[in-house]
């Protein structure tokens, strides 16, 4: 087993969909388990207000999003909606096509980290 990551991706027709991917453990020792090193090009800290409600948009780049607190409701263009809570990870890859909807949950502010991978 490893870490579950929500993956929002786009098909050849520009439709976004959800799937789950798993990042496997590569090492295990007294300090815990770690995955293999994955590529990244930076880190962006973000705060979104409790009234956050963004209409259809593609992701600006391929990136991991790590929720630190609060949550976000994201709807893929195929209609599937997921609520991503604190501590969960998303890999957004729907960088073309209609994109997705994003909305705060419960009117709460959210802090997150974006980790671009290109």
pLDDT of residue 118: 80
Q: Which two tokens stand for residue 15?
A: 């439709």
pLDDT surpassing 90 at residue 28: yes
Half-sphere exposure of 51 (CA within 13 A, CB side): 0
Q: How far apart are the first and last CA of the chain?
A: 26
Residue at 30 is within a domain: no
Residue (of 89, 52, 94) closest to 77 by Cα position: 94
pLDDT, residue 33, reads 97
Our count of domains for the chain comes to: 1
Please report the pLDDT score of residue 110 as a whole number. Answer: 97
pLDDT of residue 5: 98
Domain of 92?
2-24+41-116
**Quick one: pLDDT band at residue 34, thresholds 50, 70, 90?**
very high
Triad 42, 91, 79: Cα angle to 5°: 140
79: left (phi over 0), alpha (psi -120 to 50) or beta: left
Q: What is the pLDDT of residue 1?
A: 83
* Residue 33 within a domain: no
Specify if 102 maps to a domain.
Answer: yes
Q: What is the CATH number of the domain that holds 88?
A: 2.60.120.10
Compute CA distances 51 → 73, 86, 103, 104, whole Å: 12, 17, 8, 6
């Amino acid at each position: 087993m490893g870490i579950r990551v929500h993956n929002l991706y786009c098909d050849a027709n520009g439709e976004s969909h959800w799937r789950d991917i798993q990042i496997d453990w590569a090492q295990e020792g007294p300090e815990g388990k770690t995955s293999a090193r994955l590529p990244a090009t930076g880190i962006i800290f973000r705060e979104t207000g409790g009234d956050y409600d963004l209409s259809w948009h593609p992701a600006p780049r391929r990136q991991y999003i790590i929720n630190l607190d609060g949550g976000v409701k994201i709807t893929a263009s195929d209609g599937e909606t997921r609520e991503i809570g604190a501590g969960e990870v998303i890999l957004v890859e729907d960088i073309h096509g209609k994109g997705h909807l994003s909305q705060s949950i419960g009117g709460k502010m959210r802090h997150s980290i974006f980790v671009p991978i290109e």
